[in-house]
Chain A
């Protein structure tokens, strides 16, 4: 384990009803979050390879935990997203080092598939900062019913020398999706877009 993890947090959300209409089966989404020490806090480092390696490690760990919390098989995951919040002694590039070079491949290894780009967001902030993790269909980014976002907040993170890393997955789109566009049954899932 390369990352020094202070804590791991999992949020599981299940929507059973919206505007008085029953959602059956309920839509479920999960965010798995790690609070890790930022090895580059407080100094400028040209080479961020330690965080790149941590990204690969967390991609696997957090995706496994998220899928386990949903209680479904990896193949039942329909959409995904990732995000990171860097504590005040770090820089936004630290979030980029975790999220972009190697984390995605590790996520896809767990899920077995994932042709689409993993939508992401990042920011720097203090403890309790709100992270909105964007969500998109894992095999076809244009599936409109699966455009969504999940809010994640942990009151005591990130501390100044920490980074909060989140991966969100779902087994469904929005609860009452009805604004048209590409639907999941029509996708080819080859180019990651349609």
Chain B
């Protein structure tokens, strides 16, 4: 399979202190790592693409490590995650699906065998396309306070023969979470759901 060619990377870190309510002593941190890579399958139909998932593994780990570092450096302080991809116009949606395994498993591995499925989204689009990357709790998908999303995008990417790959992590619940449901303190953390 072809080598992974990275044109650029974009990192974003948000620290949220309040959203109109009381100022939190501990701000909510949300971070996103984006990599703009060349799409080796752009412009034609290629049947056998799955091998590229292995090639993407080192990049997934690099991005996940950056996110953990951005949220204090302690993997135990990461509570939410998500992933996504934007495929340039000469590619197909299926190329974005190549990111599920290397992106998701890189985060789970570094977060100590996180149990929950990594929420994800993907689309085909032009440069500057925005993507709302969904976020859920890393060990129990039903934790309501951790349902969130981060909007990401890169002004000049993806070009037609590129893919923007995204991983996101958060340090906790929404800043003024108060709509009930399963709490992070109540989860069993066995089946990835509750």
Q: Is the CB of B8 within 8 A of A15?
A: yes
In the docked arrangement, what's the CA distance between A137 and B125, Å?
34
A155 at the interface (CB under 8 A from B): yes
Interface size on B, residues (CB 8 A): 20
Distance from B136 Cβ to chain A, minimum over Cβ atoms (Å): 19
From the candidates B8, B12, B14, name the one contacting A14 in the complex (CB within 8 A). Answer: B8
Question: Are A7 and B16 in touch, CB under 8 angstroms?
Answer: yes
Q: A176 at interface (Cβ–Cβ under 8 A)?
A: no
Q: Point out the residue from A6, A13, A69 that lies within 8 Å of B8, measured CB to CB.
A: A13
Residue contact A17 to B6, C-beta cutoff 8 Å: yes
Chain A nearest Cβ from B125, distance in angstroms: 16
Judging by beta carbons under 8 Å apart, are A13 and B7 in contact?
no
Residues of chain A within 8 A (CB-CB) of B7 are 15-18
* A-B interface, 6 closest residue pairs, ranked by CB to CB distance from nearest: A12-B11, A155-B151, A7-B16, A15-B8, A17-B7, A151-B155
Give Cα A69 to B31, complex, Å. 13
The 0/1 profile, CB within 8 Å of A marked 1, for residues 9-27 of chain B is 1111111111100000001
Instruction: Assess whether A16 is in contact with B9, with CB atoms less than 8 Å apart.
Output: yes
Whether A6 contacts B155 by the Cβ 8 Å rule is no
| Cα A15 to Cα B155 with chains together (Å) | 13
A5 part of interface (Cβ distance < 8 Å): yes
- Enumerate chain A residues within 8 angstroms of B155, measured Cβ to Cβ: 151
Q: Which residues of A contact B17 (CB under 8 A)?
A: 5-8
The answer to whether A6 and B6 have CB atoms under 8 Å apart is no
Minimum CB–CB distance from A36 to chain B (whole Å) comes to 10
Are A17 and B11 CB-contacts (below 8 A) given A5-B17, A6-B19? no
Tell me whether A14 and B19 are in contact (CB under 8 A): no
Q: Find out whether the CB atom of B10 lies under 8 angstroms from the CB atom of A7.
A: no
Q: State whether the Cβ of B5 lies closer than 8 Å to any Cβ in chain A.
A: yes
* A9 pairs with B14, CB closer than 8 A: yes
A-B CB contact pairs (8 Å), 16 listed: A7-B14, A7-B15, A9-B12, A9-B15, A10-B12, A10-B13, A12-B9, A12-B10, A12-B12, A13-B8, A13-B9, A14-B11, A15-B8, A16-B6, A17-B7, A155-B130
